[in-house]
Amino acid sequence: MMRILVTNDDGITSVGLIELARAAKELGEVWVVAPAAQCSAMSQRISVFGEMILKHETDFPVEGVHAYSITGTPADCVKVALMNVMPEAPDVVFSGINNGYNVGIDIMYSGTIGAAKEALVRGIPAIAFSNTMNGAFEIIREKLVPIAKDLLTRPIGKYELWNVNFPGCTLKDYKGILEDRRPEGKSYYTTEFVPTENPDGTITLAVTGDPCLEAGEGSDTLAVVNNYISIGKVRSGVLEDGVFE
């Protein structure tokens, strides 16, 4: 039976994580190791000082899943799963389902992608799954398992991971799957810092932004904003260069 490690960056209580664990159960034995708290935009950051708390989550809402949380980063979750939790290495790592698209330049910052890249460092194939922010799971519940089954049969480089983004629409408006999507050359969300001067002379910067609804042909962003599932590959440049061959 296939052993699947499920992790994310939104935390152990994330609805997307629970959905992914439930879907993964259709494919094999599932182990969940996820951050105890929200860890978005941490990329492949790891903990190098202090301590982390590992907790067996006995009340995880998907029956038959081995679930743990740690007070660390998404990449930490993969490392801890391999070194301290799972009796054997997983056959694949599923990361997500992220609350928000991982398209364009946002891929560089994503903790979801960071966890998947950490799997590649360990020689384990990985698939990252993302959804629109606070989106429904209608399409995911119908399409994720067949997509995962298909991708797991395909050849992929040791330095590559699959990146799957689901559109924020209903099944009625869903148009299909677009493959070989390249990352758009800009972020999906335009970030702005709105300043407010405080009496003590400091400045509070409120982080805000709006989604980008325009993108180039063949891009991941254009796919999802037009109600397609986007499938593409993300490469680890360090591994691709063959440093660890």
Model confidence pLDDT, tens digit, residues 140-156: 999 999 999 999 999 99
Torsion of CA 187, 43, 236, 139, to 10 degrees: -60
Taking the C-alpha atoms of residue 203 and residue 140, their distance in angstroms, rounded to an integer, is 42
- pLDDT of 240 strictly over 90: no
CA 4 vs CA 20, 22, 27: distances in Å: 11, 12, 8
Q: What is the pLDDT of residue 241?
A: 63
Taking the C-alpha atoms of residue 220 and residue 109, their distance in angstroms, rounded to an integer, is 16
64-97 confidence digits (pLDDT tens):
999 999 999 999 999 999 999 999 999 999 999 9
Taking the C-alpha atoms of residue 212 and residue 225, their distance in angstroms, rounded to an integer, is 9
Lowest mean pLDDT across 45-49, 90-94, 148-152, 200-204: 45-49
Taking the C-alpha atoms of residue 55 and residue 38, their distance in angstroms, rounded to an integer, is 16
Q: What is the pLDDT of residue 196?
A: 97
* Residue 135 vs residue 243, higher pLDDT: 135
Backbone angles phi, psi at 120, to 5 degrees: -60, -40
